[in-house]
Structure 1
């Protein structure tokens, strides 16, 4: 008996009443949330708009899940379509079986559709999301621990994984926890992508290509340790060949891209993207315009008040002028009467002179 080891859970599902809560599914979901959260922060730092990463993930994640399952079913078809097997099990994703190669390939197609709808370059989006994908893989690998799968050769190291289930041809015992090795490797790849992207200003998809190349290096030696059934070509497991080919493609892309398009993209997202974000931008513009409209209304009110004040001033001036004119006219009417007053006096004096004469 081993003195130290990593225990396996007795079962990978808990029941909340009639609802099954599967550890494998939880790990996948948590990984997706981490990838979108980190990708959003990196996208905003590059000058993108908040929420863009999540909007595109709505396309990328479903495509990725379908692609991952297809790759697994195609490369391990005998598990579902050979004699004595039930092909319906090919749809039971919760029991495990997602190939990262198919998930990345078809997930990229979904991301391309989402990016095209918003007028965003796919390489820039891939650079932003790359470290998050690596961390998501690190979390997702713990789903294999819940299902007691993807372990390596028998070992007596203190961190050996104790397999207790005999389902699916398993032999209980102590094995290398290759799921843990890959999880730790993916964490290192994520931090490498973040550091290299900042240190060398990687753009135009080179951060994503670095993530792919680094992951393939680790997957190569970890895959070599696994003992689960797999197809072999020239003595190597199929996934080893896949890792080698994808590694060479990623390195080639890094070299050619650095020569053709050095540096980073100046603009990763247009100011008014197509699609759903356009409505949000219109709402923001409308909200921004509201204070201006209020200011214009206030300015118009002030102008009307000033105009009324000027009109009133003119009216008052006109009234004063009319009043002054009337006063002057009154004085003019009085002065002729005053000049006519001596006439009776002169007539009186003439009468008196006549009497004396």
Structure 2
């Protein structure tokens, strides 16, 4: 009797489309979509804390390029064998379009760039970090859809009903091209969609951070370090499931070690931080004293100091 496969997830037939000579990459579109969503939510969240929304735009200007550079540096360092050594082309280390951005490096260098910006502005970074932390992990989840189009970051072969079918892709010359080619319809393997597991985990952490921030009125960087702890906890176990090539240390992937260390560091810092939220005047005294904000906004920020109930009701409707 012929065996029936129930419901495998098909991969997209391609991840790149061409508008004349211009390549339209699904991976880049997913990252851009994540950035836009994160910005829209961050503007509301920082304003709810008493911050000037323009500061979020300033942060975006420095964090996006810094994140791309940091993500690429992390990838090249942790997978240096792909670019350096006999028979390798080191110039490929600069080819971001070929894939390879490490989110840990992106967040690290992005955070450093924002810290420098806020120091220049004379503003505390913690309220901004707490405002944008949930949106960062949501953007990461949206960005993981790019891995789906690229047929990358998957796990071992499996026969679970939600297994991901990886297609054989070729370019116009008939050569194997997994990133830029088009599917022939031939299934190479059916694997664990670890990108999907991480997407689901990231979205779950996003909702948890929003909930705990509203309920406990966290501040002083507590939401940010909860984000780091939540993300690295899930990523640790997902790394154990992945089967793609990676640098190993003592038999474990380098990202497994990094996420484990970062999780411990994040938990320790979170436990040591004060949990009360900064007042709007502490977040941005000049903005809160400025006539730039209309009277409704000033009343709104003032109510944050009056009652927890008012704060939670406002945040529930305004961001």
The verdict on a shared fold, with TM-score over 0.5 as the criterion, is: yes
Looking at CA atoms only, which structure, 1 or 2, has the larger radius of gyration? 1
CA contact (8 A) 2:31 2:142 kept: yes
Q: Does 1:50 align with 2:32?
A: no
**What is residue 107 of structure 1 aligned with on the other side?**
110
Cα contact 1:8–1:145 (8 A) shared by 2: yes
Q: Distance in 1 between matches of 2:8 and 2:87?
A: 35
Where is the helix percentage greater, Structure 1 or Structure 2? 1
Structure 2 residue ranges without an equivalent (≥5): 170-175, 180-186, 294-319
Distance in structure 2 (CA, Å) of the matches to 1:120 and 1:172: 53
Runs of 4 or more above 4 Å deviation:
166-171
Quote the Cα distance in structure 1 between the aligned partners of 2:168 and 2:76. Answer: 23
Aligned residue for 1:352? none
**Aligned counterpart for 1:236 among listed residues 238, 249, 252:** 252
State the 1:82 CA deviation. 3.0
Alignment partners' CA distance in 1, 2:9 and 2:264: 35
> Which residue is 1:291 aligned to?
none
1:97 to 100, 119, 130: 100
Which deviates more, 146-155 or 234-243? 234-243
Is residue 138–residue 206 contact of structure 2 (8 Å, CA) maintained in 1?
yes
Give the 5 Å matches for 1:107-126: 107-126=110-129
Following superposition, the deviation at residue 169 of structure 1 comes to 9.1
Q: Could you report, residue by residue, the CA deviation over 1:155-184 in whole angstroms, capped at 9, with x for unpaired residues?
A: 111211111136589991100000000001
Aligned-partner SS, 1:153: coil
Q: Distance in 1 between matches of 2:145 and 2:98?
A: 13
Choose which of 275, 285, 306 in structure 2 pairs with 1:270. Answer: 285
Contact 2:75 2:102 (8 Å CA) reproduced: yes
Aligned residues: 277
Please state how far the C-alpha of 1:25 moved relative to its aligned partner.
0.6
Paired residue for 1:226?
242
1:13 maps onto 2:16 in alignment: yes
1:44-68 Cα distance to aligned partner (Å, 9 max, x none): 1111122221111111111111001
Tell me the C-alpha RMSD between the 2 structures.
2.4
Do the aligned residues in 2 keep the contact of 1:59 with 1:113 (CA within 8 Å)? Answer: no
Cα distance, 1:10 vs structure 2: 2.0
Indicate if the aligned counterparts of 2:49 and 2:127 stay in contact, CA closer than 8 A.
no
Aligned to 2:66: 63
Whether contact under 8 Å (2:247, 2:253) holds in the other structure is: yes
CA contact under 8 A between 1:204 and 1:257: conserved in structure 2?
yes
Shift of 1:270: 2.4
Pick the aligned partner of 2:203 from 187, 190, 201: 187
Contact kept? 1:96, 1:144, Cα under 8 Å: no
Contact 2:71 2:102 in 1 (8 A): yes
Aligned mates of 1:270, 1:34 — CA distance in 2: 28
Q: Relative to 1, partners in 2 of residues 1:94 and 1:169: Cα closer, same or farther, differing over 3 Å?
A: closer
**Separation of aligned partners in 2, 1:23 and 1:84:** 30
State whether residues 51 and 287 of structure 2, in contact with CA within 8 Å, keep that contact through their aligned partners in structure 1: no
1:53-97 deviation digits (Å, cap 9, x = unpaired): 111111111111100100001110111123333222212212221
CA distance in 2, matches of 1:7, 1:269: 49
Scaled by the length of structure 1, what TM-score is found?
A: 0.73
